[in-house]
Amino acid sequence: MEMEKRIRVLVGGVFDILHVGHIHFLKQAKELGDELVVIVAHDETVRRQKHRDPINPAEDRAELLRAIRYVDEVYIGSPGVIDFNLVKRIDPDVIAIGPDQSFNCEKLKEELREHGINAQVIRIPYLYKSDRAKTSKIIEKIVETYCE
């Protein structure tokens, strides 16, 4: 009897201050397959993309993600651009993009093909209105409330 192929879903992100938006995203991504693998952004990548230091270091963010029931494996990405070698090693069937991630799905598909990665790219929609759960909004609220 042949083993049925398990569908591996890959997501990437900063996941700095975990909030309900992250949980909704991870749950929806997990529903696309059997295994969910997360690449958490390296601290240098956060500095470059967000123009600020991460609140929590990558190791802590990875440990929190490992504790979430939808997540099967977690890797810390390389500094800077997408680590296509890591993506190739993970060998995903599906790459799920978050609703607020700035990737162009078609362009990403082309880049993946150029690196020999034949995965579907699917954008996960917002479950609620976009500003309900955003790390930047949470940080703003903390600053407004506690730093008068």
> pLDDT, tens digit, for every residue of 21-75?
899 999 999 999 999 999 999 999 999 988 999 999 999 999 999 999 999 999 9
Asked if the structure places residue 87 within a domain, the reply is yes
Q: What are phi and psi of 19, to 5 degrees?
A: -145, 175
Q: How many domains does the chain divide into?
A: 1
Q: What is the CATH number of the domain that holds 134?
A: 3.40.50.620
Q: What are phi and psi of 9, to 5 degrees?
A: -110, 135
Asked if the structure places residue 64 within a domain, the reply is yes
Check pLDDT > 70 for residue 2: no
Asked if the structure places residue 2 within a domain, the reply is no
In terms of Cα–Cα distance, which of 108, 128, 131 is closest to 118?
108
Asked if the structure places residue 84 within a domain, the reply is yes
Asked if the structure places residue 103 within a domain, the reply is yes
Q: Which domain holds residue 77?
A: 8-146
Asked if the structure places residue 3 within a domain, the reply is no
Count Cβ atoms within 10 A of the Cβ of residue 130 and give its class: 0-12 exposed, 13-18 middle, 19 or more buried. exposed
pLDDT band at 131; cut points 50, 70, 90: low
Asked if the structure places residue 60 within a domain, the reply is yes
